[in-house]
Amino acid sequence: MDVSSWPLDRIMQLPDWCFGKRWWIGEYLGTAAGELVYNTVHDRLPDRFVLWSMFVQGTDWNAGTGINLTVKLAERAYDGDSFWHADRLFHQIASEQYVYEFFLTMKGMFYLPYIRSVHESKNNRICVAFKIRAQETPCENQIAFLISSVPREVPDWLISGPAGSL
C-alpha cells in the first residue's frame, strides 16, 4: 500500500521494521578548546528521514571537561541568524531560549539511542555547533547519526489485516 501521501505523524505509527535499512552518517568535528566551532555533515539526507540514534566521541577529555552541543538542519553551519534559527533536531529538549540542547560531561563517548524522530530535510544537511568548556584542554571530536528514510510503501496486510489498526 502506498503511504507516501500519509502525514508524518501517521507514518510514525508504523512498526520499526517498515523503515528499512538504517545507515550512519557522521563528521569529524575537529579540535577545539574554548572556542565555538561549527561543522556541517557532508552526507545528503533523504527528503524525509527518521533520526534513530546519535553518537558523540571525544578524545583526551579529562574529568572536568564538558561540551556544549547543538544539532540543527540548515544549509550550512556558520555563525549567523539563519543557523541559530534553523530547525532543531531535538525539539523535545530544546527551545529558542536555549542555545545548546546538550551539555555532556564524560570521558570518551556519549550515545543517545531510541530517538525515533521524523524530519523533513528540505535540501538541508545536519549541522553542528559545539564548544569545549575547558579553555586549556583541546580535544578531537566526532559525531554520528543513525538515520533511515521514511517508507513510501508497506505491505497491504499491515493496514487491512486482522488487526487493521493502522
- 64-115 pLDDT, tens digit each: 567 778 888 888 777 666 666 667 777 655 555 556 667 776 566 788 888 8
pLDDT at residue 53 in the model: 93
Contact 109, 55 (CB under 8 A): yes
- Count of alpha carbons within 13 Å of 53, Cβ hemisphere only? 12
pTM of the prediction? 0.81
Distance CA 59, CA 109 (A): 8
Residue 77 domain flag: yes
pLDDT at residue 79 in the model: 62
Cell numbers placing 92? 523535545
Residue 31 domain flag: yes
Q: What are 131-155's pLDDT values in tens digits?
A: 776 655 667 778 899 999 999 999 9
Burial of residue 50 (CB within 10 Å: 0-12, 13-18, 19+) is: buried
pLDDT at residue 61 in the model: 53
Share of the chain above pLDDT 90, in %: 25
Residue 164 domain flag: no
Residue 69 belongs to what domain range? 21-150
Question: Which is nearest to 39 in space by CA: 147, 145, 146, 112?
Answer: 145
Burial of residue 132 (CB within 10 Å: 0-12, 13-18, 19+) is: buried
Residue 122 domain flag: yes
Residue 158 domain flag: no
pLDDT at residue 62 in the model: 56
Residue 6 domain flag: no
pLDDT at residue 71 in the model: 85
Q: Kindly report the CATH number assigned to the domain that includes residue 139.
A: 2.60.120
Q: Which residue has better confidence, 158 or 21?
A: 21
Sorting pLDDT into bands at 50, 70 and 90, what band is 52?
Answer: very high
Does residue 63 carry a pLDDT above 50?
no
pLDDT at residue 5 in the model: 92
Residue 75 domain flag: yes
Q: Which residue has better confidence, 31 or 54?
A: 54
Residue 71 to residues 68, 76, 102, 156, 165, Cα–Cα distance (Å): 10, 12, 9, 37, 35
Residue 2 domain flag: no
Q: Per the structure, how many domains does the chain have?
A: 1
